[in-house]
Amino acid sequence: MAWVADYHLAAAVSAAGGMGLIGAASAPAEVVREQIRKGKELTDMPFGVNVMLMNPNADEVAQVIVEEGIKVVTTGAGNPAKYMKMWKEAGVIVIPVVASAGLAKLMERAGADAVVAEGTEAGGHIGSSTTMTLVPQVVDSVNIPVIAAGGIADGRGFAAAMMLGAEGVQMGTRFITATESIVHENYKQKVIKAKDIDSEVTGMSTGHPVRCIRNKMTKEYIRMEKEGATLEELELLTLGSLRKAVIDGDVVDGTIMAGQCAGLVKKEQSCMEIMEEIMTEAKVLLKVK
């Protein structure tokens, strides 16, 4: 989660018993290094890094991960095969995010330790299959553990993911509003106030669909897409727009990435409270102690 999943959130999630991730997104490698070091000052628990493969700095970020002794990496928005050898040799657990069973198989053959199967309910850059259909098909296609993502925000979603054959879940949207999340209050309020149908997908025409909460920006983007705007014009509109929303709190012209489960997020809570609530609820449903 670009800008959202910084070291504060990653450290808090890991300290609460999860596996926190720093979202490297489009950051330069040295910024990622600094984030990792600051995260280590906040917690002794391990946390990972997500590498967004469309980042032009991805090669350097991949290297920094090894240099800083990070042990868990997830990747998004592409195929991480070219980094696999380097990461495996360094003892890094590699978990690519996939949106299809085909890519999951490819990743298993390339040496991935697990995959995150992320459905189209997720926020940000998305594939087209739903979590309900994707997760069991990925489970049937590989022998490595599958982590479900997309649309999971509470214990019910967690339990449902287990029923689909997943061995873990990845959640983003629920943690946007965490007390430890540095996201601007305006952004948090947009997530808290969102209803089930308040997200929209921009970028369908460019081949890079991105799910966000509907606002002036998404309406303008979709209007331009319909009118046949060029890739350059669309890119100009979104340049720096996520930062604008997350950091500056501009929820009118900024991009508010969030998943369809935003309607399930009702309040700001600490990561510890969120984790405990989800696990208590899921254990009852799954009948485990």
Interface with ligand TUI (CB under 6 A): 2, 52, 54, 76-79, 97-99, 103, 118, 124-127, 208, 210
Compare residues 54 and 236 and give the one whose CB is closer to ligand TUI: 54
Smallest distance from ligand TUI to CB 212, Å: 10
Smallest distance from ligand TUI to CB 5, Å: 11
Give the position of tokens 């649309």: 151
The two three-digit tokens of residue 29, written as one number: 């490698």
Smallest distance from ligand TUI to CB 283, Å: 28
Smallest distance from ligand TUI to CB 241, Å: 10
Whether residue 182 contacts residue 249, with contact meaning beta carbons closer than 8 Å, is answered with no
Compare residues 202 and 269 and give the one whose CB is closer to ligand TUI: 202
Nearest to 8 by CA among 42, 46, 31, 33: 42
Smallest distance from ligand TUI to CB 2, Å: 6
Compare residues 46 and 78 and give the one whose CB is closer to ligand TUI: 78
Give kind and range of the element (H or E) at residue 57. none
The two three-digit tokens of residue 97, written as one number: 């995010």
Compare residues 15 and 99 and give the one whose CB is closer to ligand TUI: 99
Compare residues 15 and 176 and give the one whose CB is closer to ligand TUI: 176
* Residue closest to ligand TUI (Cβ): 124
Alpha-carbon Rg for the chain in angstroms: 18
3-state secondary structure of 96: strand
211 vs 194: CA distance, rounded Å: 13
What is the edge-to-edge ordering of all strands in the sheet holding 210-213?
Answer: 124-125, 210-213, 199-202
